[in-house]
Chains A and B, each alone.
Chain A
Amino acid sequence: MRRAALLLAAFLAAGPARAVQPNEVLPDPALEHRAREISAGLRCLVCQNQSIDDSDAPLAKDLRVLVRDRLKAGDTNQQAEDFIVRRYGEFVLLRPVFGLHTLLLWATPLLAVLLGGFGIWRLARRRAPAPERGLSPAEEAEVAALLKRD
Chain B
Amino acid sequence: MLVETGHFALALALALSLVQAVMPLWAARAREPALRQVAVQAALGSFACILFAFAALTYAHATSDFSVLNVVQNSHTAKPFIYKLSGVWGNHEGSMLLWILILTLFGALVAVAKNAVPPVLRANTLGVQGFITFVFVLFLITTSNPFTRAVPAPLEGNDLNPLLQDPGLAIHPPLLYVGYVGFSITFAFAVAALIDGRIDAVWARAVRPWTLTAWSFLTLGIAMGSYWAYYELGWGGWWFWDPVENASLMPWIAGTALVHSTVVMEKRDALKVWTVLLAILTFSLSLLGTFIVRSGVLTSVHSFAVDPTRGVFILAILVLFIGGSLTLFAWRAPLLRQGGLFAPISREGSLVLNNLFLVAACATVFVGTLYPLLLEMLTGEKISVGPPFFNATFIPLAIPLLLIVPFGQALAWKRGDVLAASQRLFAALAAALVVGLAALALTWGGPVLAPVGVGLGAYLIVGSALEIVARARGYGSNRVRGAGLIWRRATGLPRSAWGTALAHAGVGVAVLGIAAQGWATEGLATLKPGGTLAAGPYVATLDRVAPRPGPNYEETAAFLTIRTAAGDVVGHVDTGKRFYPSRQMAVTESGLLTVGASQVYASLGEIQPDGVGLRLYYKPFVLLIWIGAVIMALGGGVSLTDRRMRVGAPVRAKAKPVPNAVPAE
Contact = CB atoms under 8 A, between A and B. Distances in A.
Interface of A: 4-5, 8, 12-23, 25, 40-41, 43, 47-51, 54, 89-96, 101-102, 104-106, 108-109, 112-113, 116-117, 120, 123-124, 127, 129
B162 to A, nearest CB: 9
Nearest to B383: A96
8 contacts: A13-B584, A21-B605, A54-B235, A95-B389, A105-B389, A106-B393, A109-B396, A113-B356
Contacts of A91: 382-384
B367 A105 contact: yes
Interface in B582-633: 584-588, 603, 605-606, 613, 615
A3 to B, nearest CB: 13
B663 interface: no
B526 A22 contact: yes
A112 B235 contact: no
A17 B235 contact: yes
Contacts of B355: 116
Nearest to B584: A13
Interface centre among B233, B340, B344, B385 (most CB of A within 10 A): B385
A149 to B, nearest CB: 30
B388 A94 contact: yes
Contacts of B301: 47-50
Contact of B389 (A19, A21, A94, A113): A94
B237 interface: yes
B397 A113 contact: yes
B360 interface: yes
Say which size band chain B's interface belongs to: 35 or more
Contact of A16 (B233, B342, B361): B233
Contacts of A13: 584-585
A117 B243 CA distance: 28
B381 interface: yes
Contacts of A54: 235, 237
Sorted nearest first, the 8 A-B pairs with minimum C-beta distance are A94-B386, A95-B388, A112-B360, A15-B586, A112-B363, A22-B526, A108-B367, A91-B382
Given A105-B368, A120-B352, A95 B386 contact: yes
B200 interface: no
Interface in B344-375: 344, 352-353, 355-357, 359-361, 363-364, 367-368, 371, 375
A83 to B, nearest CB: 17
A109 B364 contact: yes
Given A105-B367, A109-B360, 15 more contacts: A17-B233, A18-B235, A18-B613, A40-B387, A48-B301, A49-B243, A90-B384, A91-B382, A94-B388, A95-B386, A96-B384, A104-B371, A108-B368, A112-B359, A112-B360
Contacts of A90: 381-384
A109 B387 CA distance: 15
A48 B386 CA distance: 10
Interface string B544-586: 0000000000000000000000000000000001000000111
Contacts of A129: 341
B588 A94 contact: no
B588 A8 contact: no
Nearest to B370: A105
Contact of A8 (B233, B299, B352, B615): B299
Interface in B150-189: 163
Interface string B526-543: 100000000000000000
B585 A108 contact: no
Contacts of B470: none
